[in-house]
Amino acid sequence: MVHTYGMAQMNRRTTFALDDITIQRLKTLSEILHISQAEVVRRAVEQAERDLQHRTHHKLQLLQRYVEKKGISSSEADAYLMQVADERTHWRGE
C-alpha cells in the first residue's frame, strides 16, 4: 500500500530551469515543511491561482459598482488621479 500523506500522486514529470536562489528557496521550503520539492511547487501554483481568482473577483466587483453608479463623480476621478500621481512619484523615487 502506498501512502502519500495527503499529497497529490504524481502522474507526470516535467523539467524547470530555475536560478540558484530559487532552487535554494525551494529546497529550504521543502525541508522546513517536510514535503517534497514537487509538493512545494504544487502548493505555490495552487496559492498563485487562488490569489489570481481573488484579484479578478475584486476587479469584477469594482467594475460592477462602476456600471451600477453609471460612472464616477469628478471628485472620485480627481482623487484617483492624485493617487496615481503619488504612486508614480513613489515608484520613481522622487
CA 26 – CA 37 distance, rounded (Å): 6
Average pLDDT taken over every residue of the chain: 84
Q: Is residue 11 part of a domain?
A: no
Q: Is residue 10 part of a domain?
A: no
Domain that holds residue 59: 20-92
Read off the pLDDT of residues 25-45 as tens digits, 9 standing for 90 and up. 999 999 999 999 999 999 999
Q: Is residue 24 part of a domain?
A: yes
> Residue holding cell 453608479?
69
Comparison of pLDDT for 66 and 36, the residue scoring more? 36
Q: Is residue 71 part of a domain?
A: yes
The enclosing H or E element of 40 equals: helix 37-68
Q: Is residue 4 part of a domain?
A: no
Instruction: Compute the C-alpha angle 49/51/57, nearest 5°.
Output: 100
- Residue 70, Cβ density class (10 Å: 0-12 exposed, 13-18 middle, ≥19 buried): exposed
Q: Is residue 14 part of a domain?
A: no
Per-residue pLDDT at 94: 66
Comparison of pLDDT for 91 and 28, the residue scoring more? 28
Q: Is residue 65 part of a domain?
A: yes
**What is the number of domains present in the chain?**
1
Q: Is residue 35 part of a domain?
A: yes
